[in-house]
Amino acid sequence: MRVHWTENAIGHLVNIYEYIAINSPTYGKRMVDKITRRSRQIAIHPLSGRKVPEYEAEDIRELIEMPYRIIYRIKPGQIDVLAVIHGVRLLTDEIQKR
In the chain, where the domains are located: 2-96
Helices (H), 7-81: 7-21, 25-44
20-70, pLDDT tens digit by residue?
A: 999 999 999 999 999 999 989 999 999 999 999 888 789 999 999 999 999
pTM above 0.85, yes or no: yes
4-13, pLDDT tens digit by residue?
A: 999 999 999 9
The answer to whether 83 and 7 have CB atoms below 8 angstroms apart is no
The answer to whether 83 and 71 have CB atoms below 8 angstroms apart is yes
Reported CATH class of domain 2-96:
alpha beta
pLDDT of residue 54: 85
pLDDT of residue 14: 97
Sorted by sequence, the CB contacts under 8 Å of residue 49 that are 6+ apart come out as 42, 61, 62, 63, 70, 72
pLDDT at 73 over 60: yes
